[in-house]
Structure 1
Amino acid sequence: MVGTSAYVRARHPVRPRALLLDALGTLVELRPPAPLLQRELARRFGIELSTSQAQHAIAAEIAYYRAHLDEGRDPESLAVLHHRCAQALCVALPPSAALARVEADMLTQALLASLRFRAFADAPPAILAARGRGERVVVASNWDVSLRDVLARVGLAPLLDGIVTSAHAGTRKPAPEVFEQALGAAGARAGDACHVGDSVLEDVAGARGAGIEPILLSRDRAPGPPGVRTITTLSELAGGP
């Protein structure tokens, strides 16, 4: 009997339970970029901006990036995307003689230096706790191909079993393809996974569409939709579904 059971387990291995996680707003946050942009433009080019001017320019750049982030599919196309984001920033900046002298590549570097991410304090322990429970942890995020580098810089990449971006998947959440690729990276079935994110549309509706249990992360403590498990910190994941 023991031999037969071992044979059955070998032919039908237990699939791991998977924890899928969104990135921005769930694992990492963007440090306020407007003050950093003010500092970078003043330091590099002598361009002085008011707070409102910096906020306006950054908002224009972020809007452009969000509309085009999937175009950053590889290092070459990512460089083009960064350049176009800098152009969107430039158009939104107050015109000046100093700005007119700034080359496109230099402005792109100043922009990138203004975009800095940091991990939420609850992210590393939540990932480690999930792995301690035997779960495979994979990020599923609407992001360009630089996400792996971003997560590496904040110390999260080594803790993960996989990273799937919309740029790699060729479509964005809530489309099921992003979730399906994340399940593939985890080696898990939809029924053996849950997905945590902060967007009702992208994360909750997207996960449900892929047959995955959704968990809404509401860091601002806003109530979630009826019937959706809602947490306010990742540490609450230890309590189970």
Structure 2
Amino acid sequence: FPDVAPVFSALAEREIKILLASNFDDRLRTIIAGFPEFQRIEQAVISSEVGWRKPAPEFYESLIHISRLPPDTILMVGDDEQNDVLAACQAGLRALLIQRRPTAISSQPHVIHSLMQVLDHLG
């Protein structure tokens, strides 16, 4: 998506840590290594490595532990309302649902349509 690189650059300028949280396996590290914009990702929390998949609370506990950040300072952005948003909020994180195509819940305050909107939700 064309909004990834500019948002990652803006986050880096603000010295905001970027983590990747995914229900994938270790092949993800090879995949992201092939994209220059993903070089700004400081850490990856991958389900096959931590032993838990989203929406398990243990996955989010691993993310918090790996990030070394207070949960309420972490903003999870994902495309799955249950796994990425509700589960993250239950773990004490803030969360946004990204829907690049409008749906019935598109007007909710936790829904964004472009990664650029993440910048509006930062303190």
Which TM class, normalised by the smaller chain length?
A: 0.7 to 0.9
Confirm or deny that 1:123 pairs with 2:29.
no
Q: Per the alignment, do residues 183 and 125 of structure 1 end up closer, same or farther by CA in structure 2, a change over 3 Å counting?
A: farther
How many Å separate the matches in 2 of 1:204 and 1:192? 15
Q: Which residue of 2 aligns with 1:167?
A: 48
How many Å separate the matches in 1 of 2:52 and 2:36? 27
Counterpart of 1:220, as a letter, is R
Q: Gaps (5+ residues) in structure 2?
A: none
Q: Which residue of 1 aligns with 2:97?
A: 216
Q: Which residue of 1 aligns with 2:17?
A: 136
| 3-state SS in 1 of match to 2:82 | helix
Higher relative contact order (CA 8 A, sep 6+): 1
How many Å separate the matches in 1 of 2:121 and 2:107? 19
| 3-state SS in 1 of match to 2:18 | strand
Counterpart of 1:167, as a letter, is S
Which of 1 and 2 has greater Rg? Answer: 1
Confirm or deny that 1:198 pairs with 2:75.
no
Q: Per the alignment, do residues 174 and 228 of structure 1 end up closer, same or farther by CA in structure 2, a change over 3 Å counting?
A: farther
Is this contact kept in 1: 2:99–2:106, CA < 8 A? no
**1:63-212 superposed matches below 5 A:** 120-212=1-93
Is this contact kept in 1: 2:78–2:84, CA < 8 A? yes
How far does residue 230 in structure 1 lie from its aligned partner after superposition? 0.8
Query: What TM-score does the superposition give when structure 2 sets the normalisation length?
Result: 0.88
Question: How many residues were matched structurally?
Answer: 122
Identity %: 28
How far does residue 170 in structure 1 lie from its aligned partner after superposition? 0.8
